[in-house]
Amino acid sequence: MKYGHIITHLFMDGGRILKSVKTSYSEYIGSERMSEIVREMMKQQHKAMFIALRDGKFDAIVEMLGRLREDPAGLRSHARSEAERLFAPEVVCERISAALQRLVPEEAGSAPPQLSDAAR
**Domain segments of the chain: what residues?**
5-60, 72-103
Looking at residue 104, its amino acid is V
Taking only the tens place, the pLDDT of each residue in 17-41 is 999 999 999 999 999 999 999 999 9
Taking only the tens place, the pLDDT of each residue in 56-65 is 999 998 888 8
Q: d(Cα 112, Cα 120) in Å, to the nearest integer?
A: 15
Contact 47, 40 (CB under 8 A): no
Confidence class of residue 107 from pLDDT cuts 50, 70 and 90?
A: low
